[in-house]
Amino acid sequence: MSASPKTRADTPPDGHAGTRVVGTPQLRKEGVDKVLGRAKYIDDLEREGMWHGATVRSTIPRGRILTIHFDPRIDWDEFVIVTAADIPGKNHIHMIAADQPCLAADQVNHCDEAIVLLAHPDKRLLPEAVAAVRIDYEPLPAVLSIEQSETQEEVIWGPHTDEANIFKQFHLEKGDVNAAWATAAHIVEGEYRTGAQEHLYIENNGVIAEYSDDTGITVWGSLQCPFYVHKSLMAVFELPAEKVRVIQVETGGAFGGKEDYPSVIASHAGLLAKKAGRPIKIVYDRMEDLAATTKRHPSRTRHRTAVDKDGKLLAMEIEVATDGGAYTTLSSTVLSRATLHSTGPYVCPNIRITSRAWATNTVPSGAFRGFGAPQSIFAIERHMEQIARAVGIDSAEVRRRNFLHDGDTTATEQVMVEPVILDALLERALKESNYAAKREQFARENPHSAIKRGIGIAAFFHGSGFTGSGERYLNSLAGIHVPQGDKVRVLVSSTEFGQGTNTILTQIAAESLGLSYDDVEIVQPDTSVVPNSGPTVASRTSMVVGKLIERAGHQLIKRLQETVDLAESYTAQEFFAACDRYRDDRGTVESMCRYEAPPNIFWDDQKYRGEAYPAFAWAVYVAEVAVDTISYSAEVTNFHTVQEVGRVLNPVLAAGQIEGGVAQGIGYALYEKVQLKNGHMFNNQMTNYIMPTAQDVPPIHVSFEEIPFSHGAYGAKGIGELPHDGPAPAILNAIQDATSENFTTIPLLPEDIFVRMMARAQTPEIVSV
Amino acid sequence: MRGNPEGHELVAAASLGDVLARLAEAPGEWMPIAGGTELMVAHAAGRLNANKLVNIWGLGELGGVRVSDDAISIGAGVTFGQIRRHTTIAAEFPLLAQAAGWIGAIANQNRATLGGNIVNGSPAADAPPALLVYDAEIELISKNGVRRLPYCDFHLGYKQSVLRPDELVLALHLPRRFADHVQYLRKVGTRRAMAITKVALAATAIVEAGRVNEIRLAAASVADRPVRLLATEASLLGKELTPKILADAHEVMMYEVKPIDDIRSTASYRKQVGANLLDEFLRGLTGADARGLTA
Amino acid sequence: MSACSLHIRFTINGQQADVQAPPMKRLLDVLRDDLGLTGTKEGCGEGECGSCSVRMNGELINSCLVPVLQVDGALIETVEGLAIDAELHPLQKAFLECGGAQCGICTPGMLMAATHLLARNPQPSMDEIREGLAGNLCRCTGFVKIFESVVAASAMKGFDLNAR
C-alpha cells in the first residue's frame, strides 16, 4: 500500500494534463521475474504424470491420404496415437471460416500439415517414432503461387466458379477513376511484391493440456488470445463453455504468430490428453515451428496512378493480391486491412481498389504485426517515389502535396475529424534526420566511393483497433476487482507477451482509481476467471481495453463515493477501507465495463464505406542506407521515426515498441526470406532464416507527437503494429536514392541487387527485373 | 531436440595417447568431439550419425600456442576465442585473429576449435583461407607418430581430406615471415555476426616498386573445399600492378573459382563478389604503402 | 543403444551439483530438467540465438552445444546466480529500469552475455557492446534498450563485477 497520501488534486510529475501514473515510465509489472529468470514459460512448467506429444506431418503439398503405416521397429503399445477419427466434435479449427482441419483426414493441402499425433512419457523417443510413421499419398497437382492460383486451372479451394481459389475479395470505388486518365499529366504504373515473413519469437509455440470427463479440457499455453482458443476447443471437443478452460502463461514473443495458431496446437494436445488420460505437453522445436506455423501473407500489389503536373493524385487504381496459403484462417481480415491501407495517407478523389486473397498449397498464412498494412504501405510508398520522379519533384514534396488533412476524406469516404498532422511529422522527421544535408552529402560523396549512401522517407498511417464494426461485434468486457487486502486486481483477457499489457493496464487502473502503480495487480488471463476483453491484436489493447479499465476505475470510485462515503479526495488506505465497507455490504467489490462504440462510427461492410477505423496512428520514418558495391549488400546505418499515436501511456514501453517494430521491419526488407521448395520451407533453422543481430541494427531514434484521442484510454491510440509498416519502403526508397535503382520486391537480398547491377552494367537503358 | 542422448556413447579420455589408442584399435568407429559446435548441432537436429564419440575437449596435448623464433604452433584444440586474444597471433597473423572473430559470436568462439573448423571440412570454414595464405603446415598424429604436410595439401574434395581414420589434427604451424606482408581478409556473409560465409578472400603479398614479388590468395565457398587460387596468383606474380594486369587477374579468378548455388547464395554472386574482393585488395596494393594493409 | 548414465559433478552458481546423466545429454537439459534451473532457455538448439547462454569456467558458451560429460569439474554460472539474496545484480537492475526486457525469453541469456562482456571490459564502447551481444537474438526490443541497459550498468557506481 502506498505510504503518502494521494489525491486527485496532486500536481502530476510528468507535466501532462492531470495524470500521475499514466505517462510515466513505470517499471514493467512482471519485470523482476523476467530479469531473475524466474518467469515461467510453458516449457518451464510441468503437470503431474505428464507425457509429451509430437506431430506427424505431411511431406507433400497436396494429395489424398491412402494409408498410414506404423513401422514395427517401434513398440507402438508404449504410445498414444491420435488421428482425425479420434476427434469428438468438429474436425476444424474455427477462426473466421471452418475450413482448416484440426487433423488431416482424407487429404492434405499443404506440406507440414498435421496428420497423426503421438504421445509418450519419454520425449526423447518421440522424434524416432515420428520418423517411423509413413504415409502413402495419391499426390494431387499443387498450386504454389498467387499467379498459379489466379489461373484457376486447378481449383484447390472453394467452388468451381469464377470465385475458385479466392478466400475473399473486396471491391471499392470512389469517384470516377475512368474519367481521370484523360486529364492526367502523368500516368505511373508499378508492381510491388512482398515475401512471407516468419515471426521468429524466441520462444516456440507450446501448450500443456489436461482432460477429464468431469471438468473438461484445460490448456495452458504460450498464446495471445485465450478466448479464441477457448472457442476452438469447444468445437473440437463438443464441450460447453464452462468445460473449457484456457490459461495464458508467460509468453516469449508472439507478434501475431500466436493469435490463431495456438488453437491448432491446443487442440492437438487436448486430443492426446483425452486419449491418454493424462496431461500432455507439446512444445515445438525451432525447425518444426518454422516449417509448420503461420507466416505473413506474401503479396503482390499493382498500382496505376494518374497525377497532374504538380504531382497531385487524380486517380488511383490498385489491385492487391495476397497469398493465404491452404486455409482461410485470417486471410479475409488481413485483406481488409491491406485494402484499406493501400492508398496510403493521401487524398485522392478517384479510387478503385480490387483485392483478393488467394489459396495456395502452402502453410496457411496468419496474423503478423501490421496485418496487411506492411504489404500495402510498402507498395504505395515505393510508388509515391516513382511518382515523384516522373513528375520531377522530390520525395518529401510529393507527399506534402498529397497528405490527408483535417476534414479530408479517405478511400472509404471517412472524414478526418481527428487532427491529422502529417505535415508536422514530416517536417520533424526531415529535421531530426538532417535529411536535406545528408541527401546532399551522399550525392556529393557517392561518385567517389564504393559505398553508395542514400536516405529515404516513408509516410504512413495505421488504423487503430478492429475495422469498422469489429469492436461492436467483439463486445468486450473488462474491469476491476478488489478482494480483501490492499491490492486492486485488473481482470482482462488481454495478454502480455512483451509489449507491456500488464504494465499499461495497471497504470491506467491506478490512475483512474487515484492509487499508486504498486497498489494494482493484473490477474493471469484464465478464461474461467477473467471476462472476454477481446483478443490481444490489432493494436487495440491500450486504446480499447484500456478505456474499459479507465471507465471501470472511475465507475468504482463513483460507486464508493455514493454508497460508502469515500471522500472526494482520499488516501489509498481510505480507498481500501471503503472497499471493505462495500464488500461487507454487497459481498464483492467489482466494477466491469462493456465496450461502447465512439459516436459517429458507421461502417458499411457491403460497400466498404464509412468510418473504417475509429482512429489512426500517423508516422513518417527516415532510413539511411549504405549499399556496398563490392558485396552488393545494403545495410541500414541510421533510422529516424516520428509518430503520433495519441497519448503515450508509458514512454519506455512505447519507445520499445517502435524500436522493436523497426528492427522487424528491417528484417522484412533486407534479411528475412522464407525459402520454399515444393511448398515446404527448407531454410527452417535460425542459421538460415536470417534476422538482424545486435551488430546489424542501426541506431533507431524515436520521437512522439501527442494528440490525445478522446475515445482511447487517457487519450491513447494503437501503437504496436505501426512501426512495422514504415521501415521497408523507407529503406528501399533510400536504396533508390543511393543507387538510382527501383527495387520493387522484398526481401531485397544482395544477390538481387547484384543481378540488377550486372544487368544495368550490360544494358544501361531501363531494365525490368 | 531431435537427438536422443541415450543413443550415443561418449567416453572421456585420460590423455591424447588414450584417444589415439582408441582410434587405432577401431578406426572410423570413434568420432572425436571437441567444442561440439558442429556435432551438437547435428545431434539436436537428429542427424548425428556417430554412435560412439570420444571427448578431446580440454586435452592439454592439443592445447596451447607455442611461439618459437621462426614459427607459431597452434594446438588443434585451441579455441577461436583464445586465438583472438593471443598477442603474437594478433600482431603477426592478423587475418587468423580476424577470422576467429567472425566465427559465430563470442559464445561460439569460446568453444569452436581450430582443429574442428578444419576437420569439419566445410568449404565455407572461416580459418582455412587465412591458414592457406600464411603457408601453414598441418601436423597430424596417430598412435604411430606424427606427420606434417603443407595445409594446402590437406583437403582433397568436399568434406574429404588426407586425415586417416586413426589420426587427429595435432597442431597448425605458421611460419613467422608474414609480418611485413600486405594482408587482406574479407568475409561476405548474410549479416555481420552469426553468419556462414557466402564468399571470403584472404591474401598476403609483398609488393616492391609496384611489382608483385610474393602473392598468396585463398578463398572460401568458391569450390568444394577451401582453396588457394593458384592460377590467379600466377597471373599476378612478378607482374607490375597495371590496370591491365588487375583486369586480367579478375578474369582469371572468375574462371578459376567454381562456386555453386546453395541455400545461402548463388554461384554467379559468389563468383562476382569474390572477384570484387580481389579488385579491392589489388586496388589497395596500388594505392597504399605495401605494408600492413588489412581490409 | 547403451549410453550409461554417468555421475557428473560440477559447481553451479557456487554450489555443488551432482547429476546422473547420459554423457551426451546437453548441459542445457541438465540445468533445466535435472537441476530445475529453468532460467536458461532453449530458443533454437543450434547455437544461434544465445537464449541458452551460460558461463562455463568464466567463458560465455551456448549450453545447448555442450555435452554434460565435458562439464565434469567445471564452474557453471547461470542467470539464477546473478542476484544475491534479494539484491538484483546491477545488470538486472539496469534491464529493469531501462526496459531491456520485453517478453523476457532472451533476457537470461542476454544477461549472461552482458555479464561476460562487462567482466572483461567494464567500460565497453557501443561497438564492443554490439559485438558482445551479437550472439544473443532479441526479437522484441530491436536491441536498443538492451544497449542502454548495458551502458547504464557499466556506469553504476561501486559496481565491480569481479567482486560478485
Please give the residue range of the domain that contains residue A702: 410-468+608-769
Q: Tell me the shortest Cα–Cα distance from A126 to chain B, in angstroms.
A: 8
- pLDDT interval class at A599 (50, 70, 90): confident
How many domains is chain B built from?
3
Closest CA relative to residue A467, chosen from A353, A599, A614: A614
Contact predicate A640/A621, CB 8 Å: yes
Residue B91 lies inside a defined structural domain of this protein: yes
Is there a contact between B107 and C113 if contact means CB atoms under 8 Å apart? yes
Q: What is the mean pLDDT of residues A401-412?
A: 97
SS percent in chain A: helix, strand, coil, step 5: 30, 25, 45
Looking at residues A302-312, what average pLDDT do you find?
98
Contact A578, A560 (CB under 8 A): yes
* ipTM of model over 0.85: yes
B114 and B201 both lie in a single domain = no
Q: Is B108 in the same domain as B81?
A: yes
B121/B208 same-domain check? no
* CATH number of the domain to which B18 belongs: 3.30.43
How close is the nearest chain C Cα to the Cα of B9, in Å? Answer: 5
CA dist B144 and B161 (Å) reads: 19
Q: Is residue A600 part of a domain?
A: no
Residue A566 has φ and ψ, to the nearest 5°, of -65, 135
| Residue A190, pLDDT above cutoff 70 | yes
Q: Is residue A601 part of a domain?
A: no
Question: To 10 degrees, what angle do helices A727-739 and A750-762 make?
Answer: 30
The bridge status of strand A603-604 relative to strand A488-491 is unpaired
Rounded to whole angstroms, the Cα distance separating A40 from A536 reads 20
Phi/psi for A623 (5° steps) reads: -110, 140
- A670 and A726 in a single domain? The answer is yes
Q: Among all residues of chain A, which has the CA nearest to that of C25?
A: A124
The yes-or-no verdict on residue B293 having pLDDT over 70 is: no
Confidence of residue B295 (pLDDT cuts 50, 70, 90): very low
Is C59 in Cβ contact with B110 (below 8 Å)? yes
Q: Is residue B266 part of a domain?
A: yes
Put simply, the answer to whether C132 touches B106 (Cβ < 8 Å) is yes
The pair phi, psi for residue A136, each rounded to 5°, is -95, 130
C contact chains, 3+ CB pairs < 8 A: A, B
Is residue B65 scored above 50 in pLDDT?
Answer: yes
As a whole number of angstroms, the distance between CA A222 and CA A258 comes to: 7
pLDDT for the residue numbered A189: 98
Which residues are CB-contacts of A3 (< 8 A; sequence separation ≥ 6)? Answer: none
* pLDDT at residue A8, rounded to an integer: 38
Taking residues C112-128, report their average pLDDT: 97
Q: Is residue A620 part of a domain?
A: yes
For residue range A642-656, what is the model confidence (pLDDT) as tens digits?
A: 999 999 999 999 999
* B76 and B146 assigned to the same domain: yes
What's chain B's average pLDDT?
Answer: 95
Q: Which amino acid is at A160?
A: H
What residues pair up with A69 in beta bridges, in sequence order? A134
pLDDT band at C3 (very low <50, low <70, confident <90, very high): low
Closest-approach residue (CA) in chain B for C54: B107
Which chain B residue lies closest to A688 (C-alpha atoms)?
Answer: B264
Residue written as cell 567416453?
B11
Q: How far is B193 from chain A (nearest CA, A)?
A: 7
Q: Is the pLDDT of residue A18 over 90?
A: no
Domain of B34, in residue numbers: 5-55
Cβ atoms within 10 Å, residue A317: 20
Task: Check whether residue A636 and residue A528 sit in a common domain.
Answer: no
Task: Say yes or no: B282 and B192 in one domain.
Answer: yes
B246 & B163 share domain: no
- Rounded to the nearest angstrom, the minimum Cα separation between A759 and chain C is 35
Q: Residue B251 falls within a domain, yes or no?
A: yes
Is the domain of A382 the same as that of A418?
A: no
Q: How far apart are CA A458 and CA A636, in angstroms?
A: 14
**By the CB < 8 Å criterion, does B26 face chain A?**
no
Domain match, B103 and B154 both: yes
Q: What is the pLDDT of chain A when averaged over all its residues?
A: 96
CB A474 within 8 A of CB A466: yes
Q: Averaged over A501-520, what is the pLDDT?
A: 98
Interface of C with B in 91-130 (CB under 8 A): 113, 116-117
Do A379 and A459 lie in a common domain? no
Which band of pLDDT confidence, cut at 50, 70 and 90, is reported for residue B87?
A: very high
% of residues, chain A, pLDDT over 90: 94
Question: Which of the residues B106, B185, B191, B272 would you substitute to probe the A interface, choosing the one with the greatest number of A C-beta atoms within 10 Å?
Answer: B191
Q: What is the CATH number of the domain that holds A123?
A: 3.30.365.10
> A585 lies in a domain?
yes
Hey, what domains does chain C have and what are their CATH numbers? 6-80 (3.10.20.30), 90-163 (1.10.150.120)
Interface-testing mutation among C7, C52, C62, C68, with chain B (most B C-beta atoms within 10 A): C62
| Chain C neighbors of A668, CB-CB under 8 A | none
Residue C117 has pLDDT above 70, yes or no: yes
Say whether C132 and B107 touch across the interface (CB within 8 A).
Answer: no
CB contact (8 A) between residue A36 and residue C133: no
Q: Total structural domains in chain A?
A: 3
Inter-residue long-range contacts of A3-12, CB under 8 Å, 24+ positions, other chains counted: A5/A571, A6/A514, A6/A515, A6/A516, A6/A571, A6/A572, A7/A514, A7/A569, A7/A570, A7/A571, A8/A514, A8/A568, A8/A569, A9/A569
Q: What is the mean pLDDT of residues A137-157?
A: 98
Assess whether A488 and A436 both reside in one domain: no
Give the type of residue at C40.
T
DSSP states along chain B: ----GGG-EEE--SSHHHHHHHHHHSTTT-EEESS-TTHHHHHHTT----SEEEE-TT-GGG--EEE-SSEEEEETT-BHHHHHH-HHHHHH-HHHHHHHHHSS-HHHHTT-BHHHHHHT--TT-SHHHHHHHTT-EEEEEETTEEEEEEGGGTEEETTEES--TT-EEEEEEEES--TTSEEEEEEE-SSSSS---SEEEEEEEEEETTEEEEEEEEEESSSSS-EE-HHHHHTTTT-B--HHHHHHHHHHHHHH------SS--HHHHHHHHHHHHHHHHHHHHHS-SSS---
Choose from C30, C37, C40, C44 for mutation: most chain A CBs within 10 A. Answer: C44
CA distance, residue C9 to nearest chain A CA (Å) = 23
Whether residues B169 and B200 fall in one domain: no
Higher pLDDT, A660 or A9: A660
pLDDT higher at B163 or B288: B163
Q: What is the model's pLDDT at position C31?
A: 98
Domain boundary among B122, B140, B174: B174
Whether the pLDDT of residue C1 is over 70: the answer is no
Residue A121 contacts B where some CB pair is shorter than 8 Å: no
Is B108 in contact with C135 (Cβ distance < 8 A)? yes
Instruction: Verify that A614 and A730 share a domain, yes or no.
Output: yes
**Residues of chain C with C-beta less than 8 angstroms from the C-beta of B55:** 23, 67, 69-70
Q: What is the pLDDT of residues A730-765, one digit of tens each?
A: 999 999 999 999 999 999 999 999 999 999 998 877
Phi-psi category of residue A381: left, alpha or beta, with phi > 0 → left and psi -120 to 50 → alpha: alpha
Are A440 and A526 within one domain?
no
What is the structure's pLDDT at A532? 98
Among A594, A623, A640, identify where a domain stops.
A594
Q: Is residue A642 domain-resident? A: yes
Higher pLDDT, A767 or B225: B225
Query: Is A306 inside a domain boundary?
Result: yes
Q: How far is B116 from chain A (nearest CA, A)?
A: 19
**Is residue B264 included in any domain, yes or no?**
yes
- What pLDDT is recorded for position B294? 42
Which tens digits make up the pLDDT trace of A660-715?
Answer: 999 999 999 999 999 999 999 999 999 999 999 999 999 999 999 999 999 999 99
A36, A41, A693 ranked by CB distance to C137: nearest: A693
Q: How would DSSP label each residue in A304-332?
A: EEEE-TT--EEEEEEEEEEE--SS-TTHH
Q: Which of A605-609, B95-99, B107-111 has the lowest mean pLDDT?
A: A605-609
**Nearest neighbour of B106 by CB, restricted to C60, C66, C137:** C60
Nearest to C61 by CA among B61, B58, B104: B104
Examine the domain organization and report whether A391 and A460 are in the same domain.
no
A452 in the same domain as A397:
no
Answer whether residue A560 is part of any domain: yes
Q: Which of A536, A560, A594 is the last residue of a domain?
A: A594
Claim to verify: residue A171 and residue A291 sit in the same structural domain: yes
Confidence of residue B291 (pLDDT cuts 50, 70, 90): very low
- Quickly state the pLDDT bin for C163 (edges 50, 70, 90): low
For testing contact with chain C, the best of B1, B8, B11, B40 (most C CBs within 10 A)? B40
Residue B295 inside a domain? The answer is: no
Q: Is residue B294 part of a domain?
A: no
Domain boundary pick from B174, B193, B220: B174
Q: Is the pLDDT of residue A229 over 80?
A: yes
CATH number at residue B283: 3.30.390.50
Share of chain C above pLDDT 70, in %: 93
Question: In this structure, are B46 and B89 located in the same domain?
Answer: no
Q: Are residues A397 and A417 in the same domain?
A: no
Would you give the distance in Å from CA A276 to the centre of its chain?
A: 35
CA distance A15 to A3: 22
Q: Among residues A548, A567, A594, which one ends one of the domains?
A: A594
Please tell me the distance from the alpha carbon of residue A81 to that of residue A77, in angstroms, as a whole number. Answer: 9
Are C140 and A199 within 8 A, CB to CB? no
- Binning pLDDT at 50, 70 and 90, where does residue A1 land? very low
